[in-house]
Amino acid sequence: MAKLKIVLATRNRDKIKEIKNVFKDMDIEFLTLDDFKGFPEVIEDGKTLLENALKKAREISKFFNMPALSDDTGLEVEYLGGAPGVYSARYAGENATYEDNVNKLLKELEGVEWDKRKAVFKTIVALVFPDGREFVAEGANEGHITTEKIGTEGFGYDPIFYVDEKGKTYAEMSLEEKNSISHRARALINLKKIIESELF
């Protein structure tokens, strides 16, 4: 079989590193959107992570006529009825920064006791081929939302997502440690198993 080439439908360097790391022992060449001059801006207007992940992978795959891998992630906070969920990227507004979103979440949970600060990070990954084949996998990680930012690593909600099984936030972990247990790593490992059995 010719070497599998996959376009990553993301420009987030942290995610690209995470993805390449999970698949490093497989004979796959990953291209990123930075390897191309033009690419379509995909509007993430789905009502679920699955809809968004599939939309991104389908549009990028169609545009480049190559297999495309995308992911969509949401942070679901129990006390907030699952919010921000699929709206995690724009929780504090359309052009919100990571910091805006983190501050808003801390504010929404002000005074809420620890036991009610339960949260789960969920990721859906989708690999779509130009011939229409689609593979989807999910990963999750449970934790609590801290009352203040702790740690300096990572991105997004990492400083306030306390991973129960590790006893620290994602932002207190090295990339390797986060990659060994993160919601996205788990989704990617599940996808890897599917690819290994279906394609190789």
Nearer to ligand IMP, 4 or 159 (CB): 159
Q: Could you tell me the smallest distance in angstroms from the CB atom of residue 2 to ligand IMP?
A: 30
Q: What is the rounded CA–CA span in Å between residue 53 and residue 126?
A: 6
Active site residue 35: no
115: how many CB neighbours lie within 10 A of its CB? 9
The residue type at 71:
D
> Active-site residue among 25, 72, 115, 158?
72
For residue 72, which of 86, 93, 90 has the smallest C-alpha distance?
86
**How many CA atoms are closer than 13 Å to the CA of 176, on its beta-carbon side?**
0
Q: Could you tell me the smallest distance in angstroms from the CB atom of residue 170 to ligand IMP?
A: 6
User: Which 3 state secondary structure label does DSSP give 124?
Assistant: strand
Nearer to ligand IMP, 135 or 157 (CB): 157
Q: Could you tell me the smallest distance in angstroms from the CB atom of residue 129 to ligand IMP?
A: 22
**Interface residue list for ligand IMP (CB under 6 A):** 71-73, 75, 88-89, 98, 101, 154-158, 170, 182, 184
Q: What is the rounded CA–CA span in Å between residue 135 and residue 150?
A: 36
Cα distances (angstroms) measured from residue 174 to each of 17, 104, 162, 180, 187 = 13, 25, 14, 10, 19
Nearer to ligand IMP, 158 or 172 (CB): 158
Nearer to ligand IMP, 61 or 182 (CB): 182
Residues labelled catalytic? 72
